[in-house]
Chain A
Amino acid sequence: MFPACRYSLQARRCVGALKAVQAEHVAPQVCSTRSSSSTLSRITTHYSVYPRDKDPRWEGVEMERFADEADVVIVGGGPAGLSAAIRLKQLANQHEKELRVCVVEKASQIGAHTLSGACLEPTALSELIPDWKERGAPLNTPVTEDKFSILTEKYRIPVPILPGLPMNNHGNYLVRLGHFVRWLGEQAEELGVELYPGYAASEVLFHEDGSVKGIATNDVGIAKDGSPKDVFERGMELHAKVTLFGEGCHGHLAKQLYKQFNLRGNCEPQTYAIGLKELWVIDEKKWCPGRTEHSVGWPLNRNTYGGSFLYHLNEGEPLVALGFVVGLDYTNPYLSPFREFQRWKHHPSIMSTLEGGNRIAYGARALNEGGFQSIPKLTFPGGMLIGCSPGFMNVPKIKGTHTAMKSGMLAAESAFSKITDENLQSETAGLYIPEYEEAFKKSWIWKELYSVRNIRPSFHNYFGLYGGMVYTGIFYWILRGKEPWTLKHNGLDADQLKPAKDCTPIEYPKPDGKISFDLLSSVALSGTNHEHDQPPHLTLKDDSVPVAQNLAIYDGPEQRFCPAGVYEYVPLETGDGMRLQINAQNCVHCKTCDIKDPSQNINWVVPEGSGGPAYNGFSMIV
């Protein structure tokens, strides 16, 4: 408007006030266009999409936060986060230094959101806690039998697992990872780590120089429509010299950090798969503790990556842990990973194990498949990324726990030496620790991930699965990954879907209630629950996109890939058209929607702490 410098201070103030008034008038119009484009109430009410400082309902609400200082704050109480905490305290005790380490975890108790097969390679554990056996680590089932097969609709073709192939599990243990994580939590507490389950880190805090200052935990007491309730309380700020982010696969804070610090500038985008799992108590006659079975092939076609696992656990009862993994780069929007899983259980070789048994638990989680090519930059001023969050899973082995733990340990070691260095002069208020990345590149994680880097991308050929297996046989088994080239991935998983009109719907069999089940009864077994009166934590950047794009072009794939029935397209009350209904309470925090949404419109944010699944060692037994 007017060149303000020509006017007096008072005049400038008036001009400023006028501009503010005009802005206020503009904002409501913008809001009303948003709401009139969908003539219904808003789906998304979360403050990350509708900021509270412009919301009249939040006027006068106290937004000041209590802050506390620690030396290191770790986001995520999983294998990586807890290993880092344990390592930090071990070093502190060894060198007789005081170190305050705080771990925040969104689950109500440590281990309640942990889900994995799981077949654990004890290498990292033996490095971290050499006397794990004496301390009672719950590694009760050594692998005794290893089977790999290709399934067709009726038959099973066994494939020999030669020593040296990544699927060889000799020396590994079948574990209930949630119990293992709980045990790690106990070890951490013994060493003096402060564990805070039930409190989710919802915001990253920054110093003025742009380095990470710490995190803030979630606010509580916000109603479903986004307004404050009587019990509203602000979250708390935890400041640290360095913050470790171990949120697991596709963490929501990590997503922000990638953008903020451009950590993915030099690597390929991460690719993912979804893993669905059930726990069954089977007939004792069929139980062979220590048996590990993997399969590929039916019911997926050769161009859809995926496979199954079935582990016989030795934990007192005749338990098996079984599950199905589907690569999220699948192209057919009619594919439902949940229903593929249920269908797979009807294969004769699987049904023979499950018949007469009882299903006791269910859950799902996304996992990384990008491997070596997708590793981002791991350190930035004030913070580091550990575990499945940046993603160190060895895909052909389907193991990521040992690499996650090792990354946590490496981060702890480099952080410790930096923090306790008395002559340290840091350029930024939050510590920048490039030593972590250097140590990482020299470690066995790097070598391991490098050697298997080409196996997953080798599936992107005309022969799909079979081409991939041939490639693995030649280049991994014989040459150990020493080939000089590095194959690329296909790009973002979200971009892989073909429009619905170009694809054929898949006819899935109805669940029979004995071997296969429907979605809602499965979700009930995950024990998931959230405070119902809170804004849905599956936020949409634009409320109109689901019907306009996802439904129109792709026939609403989110109704099929969500393993918890969160997304439903229901007819409008007026009769013409559909709307998206988000059943946020069902969410099991798998992150698949954030990954696979073709419009990338869904942004998963953390709900109020303690909400989410209640996996028990990923099982529910004595």
Chain B
Amino acid sequence: MSARVLVGVKRVIDYAVKIRVKPDRTGVVTDGVKHSMNPFCEIAVEEAVKLKEKKLVKEVVAVSCGPQQVQETIRTALAMGADRGIHVEVSGKDYETLGPLQVSKILAALAKKEQADLIILGKQAIDDDCNQTGQMTAALLDWPQRSPEDGTFASEVNIEADKLKVVREIDGGLETIKINLPAVVTADLRLNTPRYATLPNIMKAKKKKIANVKPADLGVDVSSRLEVLKVDEPPQRQAGVKVETVHDLVGKLKEAGRI
């Protein structure tokens, strides 16, 4: 099989870190905070590497957009089994406003340039929860897009005779679909359990190539049409009140003007 898979990976604030809003209310604090690969992207990488191990694809290319630090994220993908990486350099103000639309334009351009047959992405990123990039990329390329929905069991992604076979868990049971390649697949949480990037693989990954590309080289304009006006913490949860009898409850509700 000569298929090539493009996997998008995003560097996000680690899921266990407590987020703090910047004092000037323009965003959240990111400097020095622990970052790691988006958990959904880890699953995407794992799925791509599994396909390569089943010899259904020939090459896995990991892509990330951002400043210098995203190279660590690409290295982790390389350590998990990707063959080479592409770092799309976006920094400063452009990086702060980078969103699904620009990323999908970049991925679409790269897919054409690299002649990828399959794009696997995480379903959403845990920092913005947009769940848009996969769908937008497919639309821009005019490719089919599917999300192998999870359930209690891991679902499957397979390549059979130039078509992508996806097994999804739905309410009524299992649904098997065949999609034409090339296609975009977005990975949800229980698709697989990502492997650890072990130290010997990290050392080997240092020798794998990461190419540097600028969005302008791909003919993509990363300016944003969205402007963030303000970022605020969610409102503090107010303490509840315990009441002893139904009378009290009715009384309190009346007090609050609810009845």
Chain A residues with CB under 8 Å of chain B are 66, 68, 108-109, 112, 178-179, 182, 196, 199, 217, 220-221, 229-231, 233, 235-236, 317, 360, 524-525, 527-529, 614, 616-617, 620-622
User: Contacts A231-B193, A621-B20 known; A614 to B199 CB distance under 8 Å?
Assistant: no
User: Contacts A614-B34, A620-B29, A622-B31 known; A527 to B199 CB distance under 8 Å?
Assistant: no
What are the residues of chain A within 8 A of B36 when measuring CB–CB? 108
Interface of chain B: mostly helix, strand, loop or mixed: loop
24 contacts between A and B (CB under 8 A): A68-B200, A68-B203, A108-B36, A179-B32, A196-B199, A196-B202, A221-B196, A230-B193, A231-B194, A235-B199, A236-B198, A236-B199, A524-B18, A527-B18, A527-B34, A529-B16, A614-B16, A616-B33, A617-B32, A620-B17, A621-B29, A621-B31, A621-B32, A622-B29
What are the residues of chain A within 8 A of B29 when measuring CB–CB? 620-622
In order of increasing CB-CB distance, the 4 nearest A-B pairs are A529-B16, A614-B34, A220-B196, A66-B200
Q: Residue-by-residue, is B44-81 near A (CB-CB < 8 Å gives 1, otherwise 0)?
A: 00000000000000000000000000000000000000
Q: Give A616 to B196 CA distance when docked, in angstroms.
A: 24
Q: Give A108 to B11 CA distance when docked, in angstroms.
A: 14
Q: Give A525 to B19 CA distance when docked, in angstroms.
A: 10
Q: Give A220 to B194 CA distance when docked, in angstroms.
A: 12
* B214 in contact (CB, < 8 A): no
User: Contacts A524-B18, A527-B17 known; A109 to B199 CB distance under 8 Å?
Assistant: no
Q: Give A317 to B31 CA distance when docked, in angstroms.
A: 14
What are the residues of chain B within 8 A of A109 when measuring CB–CB? 34
Q: Is the CB of A614 within 8 A of B17?
A: yes
What are the residues of chain B within 8 A of A524 when measuring CB–CB? 18
Tell me the chain B residues, 25-40 only, with Cβ under 8 Å from chain A. 29, 31-34, 36
* B14 in contact (CB, < 8 A): yes
- Interface residues contributed by chain B, number (CB under 8 Å): 22
* B163 in contact (CB, < 8 A): no
Query: Which chain A residue lies CB-closest to B32?
Result: A616
* B219 in contact (CB, < 8 A): no
The number of residue pairs between A and B whose CB atoms lie closer than 8 Å in the complex comes to: 68
Q: Give A66 to B195 CA distance when docked, in angstroms.
A: 17
What are the residues of chain B within 8 A of A231 when measuring CB–CB? 193-196
Q: Is the CB of B200 within 8 A of A620?
A: no
Q: Is the CB of A108 within 8 A of B34?
A: yes
Q: Tell which of A229, A620, A621, A622 touches B18, judged by Cβ atoms closer than 8 Å.
A: A620
Q: Give A622 to B34 CA distance when docked, in angstroms.
A: 13
What are the residues of chain A within 8 A of B202 when measuring CB–CB? 196, 199
Q: Is the CB of A217 within 8 A of B16?
A: no
Q: Give A94 to B32 CA distance when docked, in angstroms.
A: 32
What are the residues of chain A within 8 A of B32 when measuring CB–CB? 178-179, 182, 616-617, 620-621
What are the residues of chain A within 8 A of B252 when measuring CB–CB? none
Q: Give A43 to B202 CA distance when docked, in angstroms.
A: 33
Extra inter-chain contacts (10) besides given A220-B198, A527-B18, A622-B31, CB under 8 Å = A68-B200, A108-B34, A179-B32, A220-B196, A231-B193, A236-B198, A317-B23, A529-B14, A620-B29, A621-B31
Q: Is the CB of A112 within 8 A of B195?
A: no
What are the residues of chain B within 8 A of A528 when measuring CB–CB? 16
Q: How far is the CB of B33 from chain A (nearest CB, A)?
A: 5
What are the residues of chain A within 8 A of B178 when measuring CB–CB? none
User: Contacts A524-B18, A529-B16, A614-B16 known; A217 to B199 CB distance under 8 Å?
Assistant: yes
* B22 in contact (CB, < 8 A): yes
What are the residues of chain B within 8 A of A622 when measuring CB–CB? 22-23, 29, 31
Q: Give A230 to B34 CA distance when docked, in angstroms.
A: 27
Query: Which chain A residue lies CB-closest to B22?
Result: A622
Q: Give A527 to B32 CA distance when docked, in angstroms.
A: 13
What are the residues of chain B within 8 A of A614 when measuring CB–CB? 14, 16-17, 33-34
Q: Is the CB of B33 within 8 A of A233?
A: no
Q: How far is the CB of A512 from chain B (nearest CB, A)?
A: 14
Q: Is the CB of A620 within 8 A of B198?
A: no
User: Contacts A108-B34, A317-B23, A621-B31 known; A233 to B198 CB distance under 8 Å?
Assistant: yes
Q: Residue-by-residue, is B1-18 near A (CB-CB < 8 Å gives 1, otherwise 0)?
A: 000000000000010111
Q: Tell which of A233, A235, A527 touches B195, judged by Cβ atoms closer than 8 Å.
A: A233
What are the residues of chain B within 8 A of A68 when measuring CB–CB? 200, 203
Q: Give A236 to B14 CA distance when docked, in angstroms.
A: 25
Q: How far is the CB of B196 from chain A (nearest CB, A)?
A: 4
Q: Give A230 to B199 CA distance when docked, in angstroms.
A: 18
Q: Give A253 to B31 CA distance when docked, in angstroms.
A: 32
Q: Give A505 to B27 CA distance when docked, in angstroms.
A: 47
Query: Which chain B residue lies CB-closest to A182?
Result: B32
